[in-house]
A and B are shown apart, each in its own frame.
Chain A
């Protein structure tokens, strides 16, 4: 009988301890897919991650819902893009009156590129820092440092994980560079549908000649499309990058009118929230880029 009571008390003690440990975990919110992956790589099982919105939404057109506010109330901190790709989240945060909520601006240390497009406003910045290797590393470092300040007991763990993430990103670039060692990237002339790929392309010394969308998320008009086709033909642009998983009705028109070679990049914003999404899809993006550079090299030599 005494032994049974002891076991019961021990079970109650560990259950209480487990509950207390669970209660000590931070609740960290995210607004966009890639940031789930960043935070998951940093915190492992030391914190809970709460997406503000269920996966499957379009960040360009999403309108905040009451349920978003309910989720926000559970968060101790939230990681945001903060430079134009998650304005819906900024509205929810502003409406919440949560003075205690820690907002981690993941892009605060990233030198931002200017937005490109016929109708972008002066001073507009390119918010697609998540489609970039070095910029992703910088953001993970920024997030890890911020979380280490909030949760100093896990500082070494968070920073160590951030460095491991950086190693994975660098390994991707290393593999790509090994394939490009004899190639000259000056042969490739690039157009993109979406003003989203400059951060990645710049790391490989590639400039974007033309962006087809006049502004973020805006399709070109018929006259703008004609101007773009003329530009592509006159500039001898040989590669067009566009977005995977998104309908681009005008891409086929451009291909037929110019003969430009098409390649697709993932924005890492579709499908379930997964820890390895950024690494896996970035690997695919870089592989696509290498293929495009090789195509441009072959075309230059032929």
Chain B
């Protein structure tokens, strides 16, 4: 039963009620999906930029060789020389003098000690040279190597500031042991020792940084 209080407002012909009805064609949903796709692409692009590989290491100088370019046998030799350099520095800190090559051999510090691997590498004879504040431990092969090391001589340059440098010679730069010693003495006395050694055929080994982060 309709209440007597109910009122009805009838639209007159001069007044219109306009109701906009959006077409049910999915345009709103399409816009929403498009915006989501755009946002995902933007985030992905940003993440790609964030995870870009590190820039390549600076090019090596002439006469340098990166540790990553060494063969497995050469890397094993490099590890021994690196640890020997640290032993030499700790020795100096404790004894307040630099050790001789024979003292290092007596402590069985590779590659100075004479064992089966020493012989197969070339039976290197080691000498110690002190010039200025630099210490030079250098080697001369005495037998033919049975390993395919392609390293005839080695040079370990140690400074009192805690730094060291490893040098490899792939072919023998000198004809005799004494010639090598004289050349080394001369090189160590020049202002640019590095250039002198490189000119004589020595390769300076560059340890590459491979930190995880």
Contacts and interface: CB of A to CB of B under 8 A. Distances in A.
B and A form one assembly: yes
Interface of A: 80, 82-83, 90, 103, 105, 107-113, 125, 134-135, 137-138, 141, 159, 163, 166-167, 170-171, 173-174, 177-178, 180-181, 183-186, 198-199, 202-205, 207
Interface of B: 67-68, 70, 72-73, 75-76, 78-80, 82-83, 86-87, 90, 93, 107-110, 113, 115-117, 120-121, 146-147, 207, 209-213
B80 A90 contact: no
A166 B212 contact: no
Given A111-B78, A166-B83, A171-B108, A82 B116 contact: no
Contacts of B207: 109, 111
B147 A83 contact: no
Contacts of A198: 72
The residue in A111, A113, A178, A204 that gathers the most chain B C-beta atoms within 10 A of its C-beta is A111
A134 B83 contact: yes
B76 A181 contact: no
Contact of A138 (B67, B82, B93): B82
A112 B210 contact: yes
A204 B210 contact: no
Given A109-B207, A166-B87, 13 more contacts: A90-B213, A110-B79, A111-B67, A111-B68, A112-B210, A125-B210, A138-B83, A141-B86, A170-B110, A170-B113, A198-B72, A202-B75, A202-B76
Q: Which 10 A-B pairs have the closest CB atoms?
A: A82-B212, A177-B115, A111-B75, A202-B76, A111-B67, A134-B79, A170-B108, A180-B116, A177-B116, A111-B78
Contacts of A163: 87, 90
Contacts of B82: 109, 111, 138
Contacts of B70: 111
B79 A135 contact: yes
Contacts of A80: 212
Given A111-B78, A134-B80, A186 B117 contact: no
A82 B147 contact: no
Nearest to A203: B76
B115 A82 contact: no
A213 to B, nearest CB: 18
A35 B108 CA distance: 24
Nearest to B109: A170
Contact of A82 (B72, B113, B117, B211): B211
